[in-house]
Amino acid sequence: MAARWKPNVTVAAVIEQDGRFLLVEEVAADGLRLNTPAGHLDPGESPIEACARETLEETAHRFEPEQLIGVYMARTLQPEDITYMRFAFCGRLGALEAGRALDHGIVRTLWMTIDEIRASQDRHRSPLLLQCVEDYLAGQRFPLSVIHLHASVARPGEG
């Protein structure tokens, strides 16, 4: 029987303050890359929870997703054929947890304008980074209630 195709579910936080966006610079197989705070959905967590967790791990800032910007898909063929499904959120950036170490591979956080993001596309980790930011700037927003989490998703031992 052939292996069943399954996309990798990821989340991303589009965080804007004073015309600049919070990005991370991270080590990837092909060098230093830029991305919004982003990562994979863990078992038992909702996309909203995953986005808050990933933002904290990658930036040392608390983040509260308030709206869904969109759901995106992209495919990469290198080093293997992987399709990513990304839930992009915007929301409220919270306090910095001083002294908190950034996630493995994250070199630093930085604030960039949309023009700087557009000019650095050759360094983007995800081909979806710019599209998510552009959709945010265009005012595309959906309520978090469009994401339904069935009780069966609860972490083992919960719910």
| pLDDT tens for each residue of 67-107 | 999 999 999 887 788 999 999 999 999 999 999 999 999 99
| pLDDT tens for each residue of 6-54 | 899 999 999 999 999 999 999 998 899 999 999 999 999 999 999 999 9
Q: How far apart are CA 25 and CA 5, in angstroms?
A: 30
Report the chain's mean pLDDT, rounded to a whole number. 93
Element (H, E) at 62: strand 61-76
Q: Tell me if the pTM is above 0.85.
A: yes
pLDDT of residue 77: 82
Q: How far apart are CA 129 and CA 65, in angstroms?
A: 17
- Helices marked H in the chain: 47-59, 114-119, 129-137
Query: What b/e string do you get for 53-62 counting C-beta neighbours within 10 Å, with b at 16 or more?
Result: bbbbbbbbbe
Only one residue has tokens 């080093």, namely 79
3 state DSSP class of 121: helix
3 state DSSP class of 50: helix
The domains found in the chain, sorted by start residue, are 8-94+105-146 (3.90.79.10)
Q: How far apart are CA 49 and CA 11, in angstroms?
A: 9
